[in-house]
Amino acid sequence: KRQGFPEVIYGEGKTIEQIEPIMEKLIEKHGKVMVTRLDKEKGESLVSTFPLAHYDYTARILLYGKPENYYGGEVMVVCAGTSDLFVAEEAAITAEWMGCKVKRLYDVGVAGIDRLLAFREEITNADVLIVIAGMEGALPSVIGGLVQRPVIAVPTSVGYGAHLQGITPLLAMLSSCSSGMSVVNIDNGFGAAYQAALILKLVSEGVNHEIVIS
């Protein structure tokens, strides 16, 4: 049995000359590769070199190949609005590329609680939730209170002043009064999706240990 997902390239600060050979090696070895944090110019240039690759402008991700395994269950990616879309799509596309079904819920925010609660059924039906928020980062606390499933919270760098480039929602999420929630780095949609996929992978593969009645 394979040991997990083929490696992913972190594109930030890498030149095309550095990325191309790594891509080639990974494609050869795994038949697939993903590059995150890749700007438009580099993305388009790499697509012309690797015509089977696809570049997503919102997520700033380059994709090549398909998932090796598909996992049962559904990852729900929730965010409040258009400003956090780049993080939400980084999460959604990563999770899909790793073999997860993804449901996007992108038009809800805590200041409009009725609109959020209109989706209560979809929310409580999700198997794993990635909840993305900039500003004060309150959304995961509210959603965490609605569900009995793991919530992975992602603070974003969207805000100004006292928001401190995302440090504020990061600290707020870590201080959340909602149980069952954990947090990843600012804007790290990729990391949240990776853990969500590991959870669905565990469900698909089953646990190593029997139930115990102590």
Ligand X SMILES: Nc1ncnc2c1ncn2[C@@H]1O[C@H](COP(=O)(O)O)[C@@H](O)[C@H]1O
Per CB under 6 A, residues contacting ligand X are: 7-10, 36-37, 81, 83, 179, 188, 190-191
- In angstroms, give the least distance from the CB of 79 to its own copies: 12
Q: What tokens does 84 get?
A: 């956090």
Of 30, 35, 57, 37, the residue nearest 46 (C-alpha): 35
Q: What tokens does 136 get?
A: 């004060």
Contact partner, 26, from Mg ion, its own copies, ligand X, none, Cβ < 5-8 Å per class = none
Contact partner, 9, from Mg ion, ligand X, its own copies, none, Cβ < 5-8 Å per class = ligand X
Closest CB to its own copies among 128 and 132?
128
Residue 112 engages Mg ion in binding (rule: CB under 5 A):
no
Residues 6+ apart with CB under 8 A from 197: 5, 71, 75, 94, 95, 98, 99, 100
Question: In the window 167-186, what residues touch Mg ion (CB under 5 A)?
Answer: 180
Closest CB to Mg ion among 31 and 180?
180
- In angstroms, give the least distance from the CB of 195 to ligand X: 11
Of 212, 200, 192, 208, the residue nearest 91 (C-alpha): 192
Residue 109 engages Mg ion in binding (rule: CB under 5 A):
no
Residue 31 engages Mg ion in binding (rule: CB under 5 A):
no
Residue 196, SS3?
Answer: helix
Residue with token string 């995150």: 36
Contact partner, 52, from Mg ion, its own copies, ligand X, none, Cβ < 5-8 Å per class = none
Contact present, 106 and 161 (Cβ < 8 Å): no
Contact partner, 36, from Mg ion, ligand X, its own copies, none, Cβ < 5-8 Å per class = ligand X
Residue 140 engages Mg ion in binding (rule: CB under 5 A):
no
Number of neighbours of residue 195 by Cβ within 10 angstroms: 15
Residue from 11, 144, 159, 166 in contact with Mg ion (CB under 5 A): 144
Of 139, 164, 39, 165, the residue nearest 154 (C-alpha): 139
